Amino acid sequence: MPIQIGQSLPDVEIAVVDGAAEIKRIPSSELFAGRNVVLFGVPGAFTPTCSERHLPGYVKHYQTFKARGMDVYGMSVNDAFVMKAWGASQHVPEGLKLLADGNASLTKALGLEMDGSAYGMGIRSRRFALHAENGIVKWIGVESPGELRVSGAEAVLQQLLS
């Protein structure tokens, strides 16, 4: 069952890529503590929808989120080196953190995994976005397979304004 509104985000170690900086492994509890965060998850770095529509929306609207006092984190079940290369190829601004969930530890703890074996991808994250304050989920939107309607940057901003 996916994580629900009012629940605490799980605490697992995660690799964090922030711009051209080093890759750091830290507990997710440290990453979310005391922060107002939008976390979005994608099935895979360099995949078509993720690279052409999902991440670019957050890059485009990053300053809008920051102006609202929000940090933005994007997550995928890929290794940290792939996430770093993806961030560079997508011109991800410093501050928009990419989380490499290579073993799907955070994805599974969130209850948001999917089996992409039919596409040669193994276990991946469902496409989603959530808003958390100090590690507590305030809103979550999980996409139906093949869709990008509720977890894109524009949809999340609209949700946060309502």
Residues forming the active site: 50
Give 8-35 as a 3 state SS string.
Answer: ECCCCEEEEEECCCCEEEEEHHHHHCCC
**Cβ–Cβ under 8 Å, residues 156 and 38:** yes
Q: How far apart are CA 23 and CA 1, in angstroms?
A: 30
**Length of the chain counted residue by residue:** 162
Q: How far apart are CA 157 and CA 36, in angstroms?
A: 14
DSSP secondary structure of 47-58: -HHIIIIIHHHH
How buried is residue 109: exposed, middle or buried, by Cβ count under 10 Å (0-12/13-18/19+)?
middle
